[in-house]
């Protein structure tokens, strides 16, 4: 504990008020009475506890580790502010990783007296994050607001849409065989490519109860924990990127086929998570991970097999070609590339990573190619698409 914390000179506060940044000058006078610019860690810890300053013990441990992880044993003021405000900071994470020996060695599994929700948060931490340091940081800084509303809202909308069409068509399995099904304004159909919203809204429609049940289960079991850890912006972007890549891939590789179901987004999330587990196999602490990995791969492969069978099974005369399976593969590719980059960047800024921009450039190039393909290729190739319903 002989190291010290350097405050820097970027306080910007002139008085101690409720809205002033912390620590304000009066705190600095207590922490550094000789105005040396440094403060001993033990002095800082005692003042934090005696004055009940807004820094919980877990963050205090991390601050000590941050000081000991630096070659000179110093922490700048901005890093302290980032710690208190739970702001993402790659430099903070690197310093914490270097100083992790100073943190308590007891894992989260040794925590006792937790309520139901905190136990669930701990479960999510061990399901998603491969590093004990990240798990502890997520567990102590997690807040219930904002809740993981995106995956829940998507799943609920899909269920409502399915129930509405099931009641209307009086058909709950293989709804695509019904001649009225393809008339929905949500379904992607090659004859309605000009209606651009269909490239996304097809995710709310499903072939039947079996596809909806599979997608909804994975969205809630994998999508919700991922959203809790990585945030709504990152996970919604990944999910929608998989959905859009799925419909555009079908428009290129299976030009006659329609498309329904959220499998593009689901496979983006699942493939990213499974790839992250494999690449961090030693660090993942989720129970029965090998068995669960095998079961997940078997279920995902079975769903692809069902989609392939449905695509090439003889359709009823009035129903036309059945939905394509290429969205599953496109979603998996998005998950392994873009999704893996996102999941490996917990508490780090994506904008600072060269790999993230390479992935975005590749995805943007694909989108641009797909747009031109849909505008020109169908006429140039003389594609015989089924008449739009």
In this structure, what DSSP letter does residue 219 have?
I
Residue located via tokens 């994506």: 350
3-state secondary structure of 188: strand
Orientation of helix 232-253 relative to helix 149-169, angle to 10°: 50
Produce one character per residue of 234-258: b if its CB has 16 or more CB atoms within 10 Å, e if not.
bbbbbbbbbbbbbbbbbbeebbebb
Catalytic-residue membership of 263: yes
Side-chain half-sphere exposure of 225, counting CA atoms within 13 A: 21
| CA distance linking residue 45 with residue 49, whole number of Å | 6
Answer yes or no: are the C-beta atoms of 205 and 165 closer than 8 Å: yes
Closest of 328, 311, 197 to residue 255, by C-alpha: 311
Answer yes or no: are the C-beta atoms of 159 and 216 closer than 8 Å: yes
* Catalytic site residue from 263, 271, 324, 345: 263
| CA distance linking residue 227 with residue 273, whole number of Å | 12
Element at 273 (helix H, strand E)? helix 263-279
| CA distance linking residue 93 with residue 65, whole number of Å | 10
Side-chain half-sphere exposure of 104, counting CA atoms within 13 A: 13
Closest of 46, 39, 45, 33 to residue 5, by C-alpha: 39
| CA distance linking residue 373 with residue 193, whole number of Å | 11
Catalytic-residue membership of 15: no
In this structure, what is the dihedral angle of CA atoms 209, 213, 219, 224, given to the nearest 10 degrees?
Answer: 120
Q: Could you tell me the two tokens for 145?
A: 């607001």
Q: Could you tell me the two tokens for 340?
A: 């893996």
**Residues that are catalytic:** 263, 328
């Amino acid at each position: 504990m002989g190291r010290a914390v350097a405050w820097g000179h970027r306080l910007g506060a002139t008085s101690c008020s409720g809205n002033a940044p912390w620590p304000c000058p009066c705190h600095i006078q207590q922490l550094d009475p000789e105005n040396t610019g440094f403060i001993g860690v033990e002095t800082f810890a005692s003042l934090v506890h005696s004055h009940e300053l807004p820094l919980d013990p877990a963050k205090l441990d991390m601050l000590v580790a941050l000081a000991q992880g630096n070659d000179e044993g110093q922490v700048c003021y901005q890093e302290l502010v980032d710690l208190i405000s739970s702001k993402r900071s790659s430099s903070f994470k690197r310093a914490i990783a270097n100083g992790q020996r100073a943190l308590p060695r007891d894992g989260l599994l040794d925590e006792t007296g937790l309520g139901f929700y905190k136990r669930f948060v701990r479960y999510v931490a061990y399901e998603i994050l491969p590093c004990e340091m990240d798990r502890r940081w997520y567990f102590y800084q997690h807040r219930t607001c904002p809740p993981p509303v995106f995956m829940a809202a998507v799943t609920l909308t899909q269920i409502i849409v399915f129930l509405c069409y099931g009641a209307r068509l009086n058909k709950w399995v293989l709804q695509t065989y019904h001649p009225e099904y393809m008339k929905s304004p949500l379904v992607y159909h090659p004859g309605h490519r000009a209606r651009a919203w269909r490239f996304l809204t097809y995710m709310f429609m499903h072939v039947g109860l079996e596809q909806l049940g599979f997608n909804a289960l994975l969205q809630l079991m994998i999508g919700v924990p991922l959203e809790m850890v990585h945030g709504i912006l990152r996970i919604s972007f990944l999910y929608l990127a998989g959905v859009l890549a799925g419909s555009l891939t079908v428009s290129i590789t299976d030009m006659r086929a329609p498309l329904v179901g959220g499998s593009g987004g689901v496979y983006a999330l699942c493939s990213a998570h499974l790839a992250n587990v494999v690449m961090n196999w030693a660090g993942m602490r989720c129970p029965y991970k090998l068995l669960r990995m095998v079961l997940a791969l078997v279920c995902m492969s079975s769903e692809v097999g069902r989609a392939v069978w449905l695509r090439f099974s003889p359709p009823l005369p009035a129903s036309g070609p059945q939905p394509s399976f290429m969205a599953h593969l496109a979603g998996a590719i998005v998950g392994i590339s873009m999704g893996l980059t996102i999941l490996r960047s917990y508490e780090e800024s994506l904008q600072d990573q060269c790999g993230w921009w390479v992935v975005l450039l590749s995805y943007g190039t694909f989108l641009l190619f797909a747009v031109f393909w849909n505008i020109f290729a169908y006429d140039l190739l003389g594609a015989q698409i089924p008449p739009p319903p």
